[in-house]
């Protein structure tokens, strides 16, 4: 059974319900024939991919929807074999080079040249060039990005790139210089409500405007998350009304527990206890940044107003440490310890 997220995904630019002006902009670029390389960025769940798939359709017509997944093997200079999956139609391909970690350069290098050197064989194709969509472009290594530079220029008659990223910060300047930057903002809460209502109607769910609004708010303007929550609520309850509670995902519930524990007692024993839970989250592949951020924003309402800025400060500090260091758990734990210390000192000063 397909998830709502996929089932009701808009397939053309016309069907996209929000950011109409952006849709028009993409349409005018697609129709002009001299389509530039794009760097599409925005928060996750903002609908970047959907928008790009719709743009591809505008460029090439329905043939672009006939996709196939191929597995390719690449060889590194040290003769290591890399397996790599490619999603392709006759007109475009889609790759996620971060799948092969530090070997992404080999893939980018070989694959793009290969694509660029084969002409569009479909003589009646609407565009002379083919498109390569690169997912998670902000995770490309510097080397892989450097490898794109001349390729993007030299082969531009045959090849256009669409890079998808959550942010432009990790994209090197020469690549930013070679692409048109397209920002996709997250939909507003109202826009999310519209999408939920539409999906609900198609599924025959009972109308519950207030529930939809609550979901929109809790989703943090993340449409994918909102749709998943909406579906979960309906799957878990016989009868859904405006007051039906929205169950948080397990890992988030666990973080609420951790936050409460940290606030309740400031002691080494407590840190030890919390560590086990943090480990648990890490082994379930919850990204460390997510853990730290969600925990922080759960702690904030529990502390005195005067401390809020300081807690954020340490959270940002340790998040940076997590990035730069190698032992994630050290830094998460250090944040917990720091938090306890800050609160403790404050309470002493205030004479509790």
Ligand X SMILES: Nc1ncnc2c1ncn2[C@@H]1O[C@H](COP(=O)(O)OP(=O)(O)OP(=O)(O)O)[C@@H](O)[C@H]1O
Task: Tell me how far, at minimum, the Cβ of 206 lies from other proteins, in Å.
Answer: 29
Q: What is the DSSP letter of 90?
A: S
Both structure tokens of 238: 């016989």
Closest CB to other proteins among residues 188, 237: 188
Strand, helix or coil for residue 159: strand
CB-CB neighbours of 40 under 10 Å? 23
Are 154 and 160 in contact, with CB atoms under 8 Å apart? no
Q: Which of residues 206-225 bind other proteins (CB under 8 A)?
A: 220-221
Q: Which of residues 136-165 bind other proteins (CB under 8 A)?
A: 142-143, 146-151, 153, 156-157
Q: Which of residues 115-134 bind other proteins (CB under 8 A)?
A: 115, 118, 121-129
Determine the Cα–Cα distance for residues 297 and 278; give it in Å rounded to an integer: 16
For helices 328-349 and 308-324, the axis angle rounded to 10 degrees is 160
Determine the Cα–Cα distance for residues 164 and 191; give it in Å rounded to an integer: 22
Q: Which of 324, 258, 267 is nearest to 291 (CA)?
A: 258
Residue with tokens 């990204």: 287
32 binds, among other proteins, ligand X, none (CB under 5 to 8 A by kind): other proteins
Task: Tell me how far, at minimum, the Cβ of 96 lies from ligand X, in Å.
Answer: 25
User: According to CB under 8 A, which one of 173, 269, 276, 348 is a site residue for other proteins?
Assistant: 173
User: According to CB under 8 A, which one of 3, 180, 272, 329 is a site residue for other proteins?
Assistant: 180
Closest CB to ligand X among residues 79, 177: 177
Task: Tell me how far, at minimum, the Cβ of 237 lies from other proteins, in Å.
Answer: 28
Under rule CB under 6 A, residue 174 binds ligand X: yes
Task: Tell me how far, at minimum, the Cβ of 169 lies from ligand X, in Å.
Answer: 18
Task: Tell me how far, at minimum, the Cβ of 302 lies from other proteins, in Å.
Answer: 13
Which residues, in sequence order, are CB contacts of 18 under 8 Å at separation 6+?
47, 187, 188, 191, 194, 195
Binding-site string for ligand X from residue 100 to residue 139, where x marks contact by CB under 6 A and - marks none: ----------------------------------------
Cα dist from 329 to 263, 268, 288, 293, 325, whole Å? 19, 15, 9, 14, 10
272 binds, among other proteins, ligand X, none (CB under 5 to 8 A by kind): none
DSSP string, 165-216: ES-STTS-HHHHHHSEEEE-PPPPHHHHHHHHHHHHHHHTPPP-HHHHHHHH
Under rule CB under 6 A, residue 34 binds ligand X: no
124 binds, among other proteins, ligand X, none (CB under 5 to 8 A by kind): other proteins
232 binds, among other proteins, ligand X, none (CB under 5 to 8 A by kind): none
Under rule CB under 6 A, residue 177 binds ligand X: yes
181 binds, among ligand X, other proteins, none (CB under 5 to 8 A by kind): other proteins
Cα dist from 336 to 260, 271, 302, 308, 311, whole Å? 12, 7, 14, 15, 10
Give the interface with ligand X as residue ranges (CB under 6 A).
Answer: 149, 174, 177
């Amino acid at each position: 059974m397909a998830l709502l997220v996929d089932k009701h995904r808009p397939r053309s630019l016309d069907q996209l319900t929000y950011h109409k002006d952006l849709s028009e902009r993409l349409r005018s670029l697609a129709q002009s024939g001299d389509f530039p390389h794009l760097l599409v960025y925005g928060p996750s769940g903002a609908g970047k991919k959907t928008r790009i798939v719709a743009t591809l359709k505008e460029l090439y017509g329905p043939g672009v929807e006939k996709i196939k997944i191929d597995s390719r093997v690449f060889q590194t200079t040290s003769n290591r074999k890399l397996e790599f999956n490619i999603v392709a139609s006759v007109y475009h391909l889609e790759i996620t080079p971060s799948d092969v970690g530090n070997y992404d350069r080999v893939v980018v290098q070989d694959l793009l040249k290969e694509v660029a050197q084969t002409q569009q064989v479909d003589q009646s194709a609407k565009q002379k060039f083919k498109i390569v969509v690169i997912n998670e472009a902000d995770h490309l290594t510097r080397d892989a990005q450097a490898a794109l530079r001349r390729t993007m220029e030299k082969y531009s008659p045959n090849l256009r790139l669409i890079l998808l990223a959550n942010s432009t910060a990790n994209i090197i300047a020469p690549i930013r210089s070679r692409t048109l930057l397209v920002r996709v903002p997250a939909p507003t809460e109202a826009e999310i409500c519209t999408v939920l209502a539409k999906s609900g109607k198609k599924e025959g769910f009972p109308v519950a405007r207030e529930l939809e609004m609550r979901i929109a708010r809790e989703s943090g303007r993340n449409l994918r998350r909102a749709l998943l929550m909406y579906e979960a609520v309906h799957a878990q309850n016989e009868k859904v009304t405006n007051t039906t509670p929205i169950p948080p995902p397990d890992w988030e519930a666990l973080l609420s527990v951790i936050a409460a524990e940290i606030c309740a007692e400031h002691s080494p024993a407590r840190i030890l206890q919390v560590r086990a839970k943090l480990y648990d989250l890490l082994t379930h592949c919850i990204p460390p940044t997510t853990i730290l951020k969600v925990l922080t924003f759960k702690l904030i309402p529990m502390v005195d107003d005067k401390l809020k800025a300081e807690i954020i400060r340490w959270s940002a500090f340790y998040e940076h440490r997590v990035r730069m260091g190698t032992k994630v758990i050290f830094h998460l734990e250090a944040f917990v310890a720091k938090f306890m210390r800050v609160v403790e000192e404050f309470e002493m000063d205030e004479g509790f």
